[in-house]
């Protein structure tokens, strides 16, 4: 005699189960260690399989829902305030449409500057477990180099990351010019000292080159 409930079961992978519950796969592994949710089966290779019918989101609310959503916006300089406003408006509109309660962090500074006030505040809150969701317009808005490290921290802290635009950043050329200038500024200061004539001459030459390039 066959058990109809067994015949109609739909077993899904840990990734599919996590997506259904609105959490990261790592969260399901943690719940298993804590005894909250066990896989229904294991494949011969040890892969977890979950019965979709038994996965009830209302019983396994991720604390993503109880933690804050942060929309992070950044531009390189105060001259780009209008760009920052548009970027912020896009993030606010998206979050509002999802029905989320959210907070916006608007930051100024180069994409290679890791000491930006807003970025430091964002990382502090993620590490402290206060953030459940991070929304950014483009990956480069977070950092030009090193965004993957921030994403890894988010994954470790069960923070959902949403990138609205995965195409080319429209401010790419201007931002790269500013980033290059900042890198050279730091290196020049270390080589020649902040107030040396060589340092000033080098920076003036770089600025002229950057301005000439941006006019092309």
Task: Report, as an integer, the average pLDDT of 41-53.
Answer: 90
H-assigned helices in 110-196: 117-127, 139-142, 147-156, 172-192
> For residue 189, what pLDDT is reported?
56
> Of 59, 76, 100, which residue constitutes the final position of a domain?
59
Q: Considering the chain, what is the average pLDDT of its residues?
A: 78
* Residue for token pair 């992070």: 72
Secondary structure letter of residue 151 according to DSSP: H
HSE-up of 154 (CA within 13 Å, CB side)? 22
Q: Pick 63 or 110 by higher pLDDT.
A: 110
CB crowding 8-45: b at 16 or more within 10 Å, else e: ebebbebebbbeebebbbebbeebeeeeebebbeeeee
* Claim to verify: residue 38 and residue 124 sit in the same structural domain: no
pLDDT in tens, 139-150: 888 887 788 889
Q: Is residue 1 part of a domain?
A: no
* Claim to verify: residue 109 and residue 27 sit in the same structural domain: no
Query: How many separate domains does the chain show?
Result: 3
Q: Pick 115 or 196 by higher pLDDT.
A: 115
Cα–Cα dist 148/154, whole Å: 10
51: part of which helix (H) or strand (E)? strand 48-51
Q: Which domain holds residue 29?
A: 8-59
Sequence-distant (6+) residues with CB within 8 A of 96 are 102
Catalytic residues: 76
* Claim to verify: residue 77 and residue 155 sit in the same structural domain: yes
Q: Pick 108 or 169 by higher pLDDT.
A: 108
Alpha-carbon distances of 187 from 105, 109, 190, 211, rounded to whole Å: 29, 17, 5, 20
| pLDDT reading at 169 higher than 90 | no
């Amino acid at each position: 005699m066959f058990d109809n409930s067994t015949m109609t079961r739909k077993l899904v992978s840990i990734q599919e189960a996590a997506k259904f519950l609105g959490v990261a796969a790592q969260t399901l592994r943690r719940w298993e260690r804590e005894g909250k949710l066990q896989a229904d089966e294991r494949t011969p290779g040890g892969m977890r399989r979950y019965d979709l019918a038994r996965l009830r989101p209302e019983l396994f609310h991720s604390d993503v829902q109880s933690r804050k959503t942060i929309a992070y916006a950044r531009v390189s300089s105060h001259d780009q305030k209008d760009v920052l406003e548009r970027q912020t408006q896009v993030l606010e509109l998206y979050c509002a449409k999802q029905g989320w309660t959210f907070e916006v962090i608007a930051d100024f500074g180069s994409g290679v500057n890791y000491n930006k006030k807003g970025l430091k505040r964002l990382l502090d809150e993620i590490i402290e477990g206060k953030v459940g969701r991070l929304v950014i317009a483009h990956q480069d808005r977070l950092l030009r180099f090193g965004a993957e490290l921030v994403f890894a921290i988010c994954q470790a802290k069960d923070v959902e990351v949403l990138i609205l635009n995965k195409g080319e950043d429209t401010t790419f050329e201007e931002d790269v010019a500013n980033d290059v200038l900042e890198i050279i500024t730091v290196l020049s200061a270390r080589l020649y000292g902040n107030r040396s004539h060589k340092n000033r001459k080098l920076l003036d030459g770089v600025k002229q080159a950057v301005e000439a390039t941006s006019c092309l």
